[in-house]
């Protein structure tokens, strides 16, 4: 379900999806979003988004959640907007709680009704949250995930007392035992929080059936990197793959743009002094803008935590192009600016039919990247629609990617973040590798290593050397391609776990399950290719993308060495120490390298 809204102060877009899930027959979750149609009322009242999860242990959990959402929106529409948001939230929770409580008490079967309830009010560039239960609200801002609500559950109390870990809480059978709900008692107490919003913020509301089966890094990755219409289907499909046994619901509200009020515009006297011309207070690009008298912006393609990508017309050539523009607040950040500049420089080095084409633009007035305009779907989207892929399709995709990697490596470029989200399957049947945001070139100045963490790359596709904190080389991309090929042919990622530390530890201490055990249609030769690419030690992998491509294109040339018989299961850490080694490694390695570089610099002076 997709909706877009134009507010006077905030431009919002909303996406949501709710499913009974792969196990439950009835969906007891409910979602809702509403704002006034008229602009003056939107300015005064704001907007509301709601999520509720009915308790399956009580009768009519689905009715309770539906009542809660409907009452919340109805009260928001009816209450005088001059009231403070906290007062409005109190009336919403009191009304919903009493209505659900009385409905349960009057049920002739004597059953109780109860639900969780999380309400978000968007007004005056702020977010106001009222919350009861264990549904969650998250903020995703500039590639970071922040949880905004606390769970009212027995396991949450255990976590606060440090009796169990967050991971153990998600897996506990007691996680559904709530300490506070709406409708179970005649009086309810709700948590209240508010915070300032920024342009491009994404607010995520979801139920426990989703967040208990997705680790925070995957949740952040999906919400931050994907287009709005892709986020909810992706997250629900991911939770289903992780074998969620509950209803699945997620709603995402994006702050497309914060608009300055009219009194912030130049006053009429100054406007006249400027010759009658008024200027917008915002420097963010909008549809209809003309960049450097050449690129006419037509519409937004997608937004991430770092930049917006626009569809535009190149007036010089008449072609449709894509223009990637970093947010204004990031252009003053040296690290973000350097990363963006490096992506443009690397992209302009490359010229291959399976790599997105960068268009060189001289004398830019600000930082931006122009590329060819592609129509199609990411490999991630294709996999979410049906997995595994037909073997022949998977092999062809891998062969195309090998050709692109060979070209990159020939030009001393390592992608370092190869994954299905960065492989575009175009409508004309061609393929492109995209997003060179963390790529490196040995021919260029390096970015400051002190800012590095093993999270560069995505846990499901990271090579072991990346997990150890190393920069990686051409063989790092080969490992990632092996992991992508594994997923395309088996339907599963090579390593699974409840959090990214477990996933990363698994690839350090063991090997994936043999592909043919998951999909017998995989040939012995293809299994050998996949496992060869995914060897833990770089020197035991293919030493070039061309050698891997040669065997993909000619499977009869593959020498079967029995790699599947030598696979070792990952070694599990003691629960008490889960993640400790990686956390220490993440912190210590960059510090040691930075200290060493500083020592060398002080001893020898700067190198020019």
Lowest-confidence range among 305-309, 335-339, 505-509?
A: 335-339
Q: Which two tokens stand for residue 143?
A: 């590639």
Q: Name the residue with higher pLDDT: 168 or 147.
A: 147
**Confidence check: pLDDT of 357 > 80:** yes
Q: Are 135 and 52 in contact (CB under 8 A)?
A: yes
Q: If pLDDT is split at 50, 70 and 90, which confidence band does 380 have? A: very high
According to DSSP, the residues that pair with 144 across neighbouring strands are: 141
Q: What is residue 591's predicted lDDT score, i.e. its pLDDT?
A: 52
Average pLDDT over residues 214-242: 92
Give the contacts of 103 (CB within 8 A, at least 6 positions apart): 60, 63, 64, 67, 113, 183
Average pLDDT over residues 527-556: 97
Q: What is residue 260's predicted lDDT score, i.e. its pLDDT?
A: 54
**CA atoms 206, 210, 212, 217: torsion sign:** negative
Residue (of 381, 383, 432, 372) closest to 405 by Cα position: 432
3-state secondary structure of 309: strand
Q: What is residue 15's predicted lDDT score, i.e. its pLDDT?
A: 95
**Confidence check: pLDDT of 278 > 80:** no
Q: What is residue 166's predicted lDDT score, i.e. its pLDDT?
A: 80
Q: Are 497 and 530 in contact (CB under 8 A)?
A: no
Q: What is residue 331's predicted lDDT score, i.e. its pLDDT?
A: 66
CB-CB neighbours of 468 under 10 Å: 14
Angle, helices 545-553/524-533, rounded to nearest 10 degrees:
170
Q: What is residue 276's predicted lDDT score, i.e. its pLDDT?
A: 39
Token match 């506990």: residue?
172
**Confidence check: pLDDT of 578 > 80:** no
The span from the CA of 119 to the CA of 93, in Å, is 9
Q: Are 369 and 324 in contact (CB under 8 A)?
A: yes
The span from the CA of 401 to the CA of 533, in Å, is 13
Give the contacts of 563 (CB within 8 A, at least 6 positions apart): 527, 528, 531, 532
Q: What is the mean pLDDT of the chain?
A: 84
Choose from 216-225, 397-406, 430-439 the range with maximum mean pLDDT.
397-406
Q: What is residue 449's predicted lDDT score, i.e. its pLDDT?
A: 33
Q: If pLDDT is split at 50, 70 and 90, which confidence band does 150 have? A: very high
pLDDT in tens, 47-67: 999 999 998 655 688 999 999
The span from the CA of 482 to the CA of 498, in Å, is 22
Q: Are 388 and 516 in contact (CB under 8 A)?
A: no
According to DSSP, the residues that pair with 313 across neighbouring strands are: 296, 320
Q: If pLDDT is split at 50, 70 and 90, which confidence band does 335 have? A: low
3-state secondary structure of 525: helix
The span from the CA of 496 to the CA of 92, in Å, is 41
**Confidence check: pLDDT of 430 > 60:** yes
Give the contacts of 49 (CB within 8 A, at least 6 positions apart): 14, 32, 33, 119, 120, 122, 203, 205, 251, 253
The burial of 565, by beta-carbon neighbours within 10 Å (0-12 exposed, 13-18 middle, 19 or more buried), is given as exposed
pLDDT in tens, 412-423: 999 989 999 999
The span from the CA of 357 to the CA of 359, in Å, is 6
The span from the CA of 68 to the CA of 66, in Å, is 5
Q: Name the residue with higher pLDDT: 154 or 109.
A: 154
**Confidence check: pLDDT of 298 > 90:** yes
Q: What is residue 448's predicted lDDT score, i.e. its pLDDT?
A: 35
Q: What is residue 47's predicted lDDT score, i.e. its pLDDT?
A: 95
What domains are defined for the chain? Answer: 2-145+179-258 (3.60.40.10), 283-372 (3.30.200.20), 376-597 (1.10.510.10)
Q: Name the residue with higher pLDDT: 356 or 57.
A: 356
The span from the CA of 463 to the CA of 503, in Å, is 11
**Confidence check: pLDDT of 69 > 60:** yes
How does strand 376-378 pair with strand 431-433?
unpaired
Average pLDDT over residues 348-357: 95
The span from the CA of 337 to the CA of 51, in Å, is 38
Q: Are 447 and 437 in contact (CB under 8 A)?
A: no
Average pLDDT over residues 289-303: 92
Q: Which two tokens stand for residue 228?
A: 């709005």
pLDDT in tens, 12-33: 899 999 999 999 889 999 999 9
Edge-to-edge strands of the sheet including 376-378? 376-378, 423-426, 431-433
The per-residue DSSP string of 158-209 comes to: HHHTTSS-HHHHHH-TTTT-BS--BSSSS----EEEEEE--TT-EEEEE-HH
């Amino acid at each position: 379900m997709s909706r877009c809204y134009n507010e006077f102060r905030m431009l919002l877009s909303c996406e949501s999806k709710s499913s009974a899930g792969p196990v439950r027959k009835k969906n007891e979750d409910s979602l809702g979003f509403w704002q006034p149609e008229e602009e003056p009322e939107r300015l005064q009242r704001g907007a509301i988004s709601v999520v509720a999860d009915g308790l399956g242990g009580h009768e009519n959990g689905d009715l309770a959640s539906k009542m809660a959402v409907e009452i919340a929106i109805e009260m928001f529409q009816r209450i005088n907007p001059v009231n403070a948001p906290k007062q409005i939230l109190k009336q919403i929770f009191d009304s919903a709680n009493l209505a659900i409580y009385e409905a349960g008490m009057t049920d002739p079967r004597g059953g109780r009704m109860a639900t969780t309830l999380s309400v978000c009010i968007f007004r005056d560039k702020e977010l106001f949250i009222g919350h009861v239960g264990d549904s969650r609200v998250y903020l995703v801002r500039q590639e970071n995930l922040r949880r905004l609500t606390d769970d009212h559950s027995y396991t949450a109390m255990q976590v606060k007392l440090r009796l169990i870990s967050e991971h153990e809480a998600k897996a506990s059978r007691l996680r559904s035992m709530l300490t506070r709900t709406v409708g179970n008692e005649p009086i309810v107490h709700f948590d209240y929080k508010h915070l300032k919003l920024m342009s491009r913020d994404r607010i995520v509301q979801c139920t426990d059936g989703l967040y208990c089966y997705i680790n925070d890094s995957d949740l952040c990755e999906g919400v931050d990197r994907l287009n709005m219409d892709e986020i909810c289907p992706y997250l629900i499909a991911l939770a289903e793959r992780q074998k969620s046994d509950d209803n699945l619901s997620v709603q995402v509200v994006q702050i497309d743009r914060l608009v300055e009020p009219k009194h912030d515009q130049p006053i009429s006297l100054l406007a006249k002094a400027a010759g009658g011309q008024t200027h917008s207070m915002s420097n963010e690009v909008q549809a209809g803008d003309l960049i450097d008298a050449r690129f006419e912006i037509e519409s937004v393609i997608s937004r991430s935590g770092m930049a917006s990508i626009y569809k535009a017309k190149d007036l010089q050539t008449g072609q449709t192009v894509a223009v990637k523009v970093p947010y204004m607040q990031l252009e003053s950040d040296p690290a973000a600016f350097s990363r963006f500049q490096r992506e443009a420089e690397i992209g302009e080095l490359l010229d291959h039919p399976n790599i997105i084409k960068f268009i060189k633009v001289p004398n830019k007035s600000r930082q931006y990247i122009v590329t060819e305009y592609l129509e199609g779907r990411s490999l991630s989207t294709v996999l979410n629609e049906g997995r595994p892929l037909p073997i022949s399709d998977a092999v062809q995709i891998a062969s195309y990617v090998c050709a692109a990697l060979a070209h990159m490596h020939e030009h001393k470029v390592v992608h370092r973040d190869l994954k299905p989200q960065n492989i575009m399957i175009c409508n004309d049947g061609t393929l492109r590798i995209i997003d060179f945001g963390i790529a490196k070139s040995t021919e260029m100045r390096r970015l400051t290593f002190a800012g590095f963490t093993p999270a560069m790359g995505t846990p499901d596709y990271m090579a072991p050397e990346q997990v150890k904190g190393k920069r990686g080389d051409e063989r790092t991309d080969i490992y990632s391609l092996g992991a992508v090929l594994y997923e395309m042919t088996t339907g599963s990622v090579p390593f699974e776990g409840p959090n990214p530390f477990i996933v990363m530890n698994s690839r350090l201490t063991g090997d994936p399950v043999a592909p043919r055990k998951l999909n017998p249609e995989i040939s012995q030769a293809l299994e050998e290719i996949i496992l060869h690419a995914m060897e833990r030690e770089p020197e035991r992998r293919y030493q070039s993308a061309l050698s891997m491509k040669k065997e993909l294109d000619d499977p009869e040339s593959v020498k079967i060495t029995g790699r599947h018989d030598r696979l070792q299961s990952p070694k599990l850490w003691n629960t008490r120490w889960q993640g400790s080694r990686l956390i220490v490694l993440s912190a210590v390695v960059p510090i040691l390298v930075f200290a060493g570089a500083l020592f060398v610099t002080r001893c020898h002076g700067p190198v020019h």
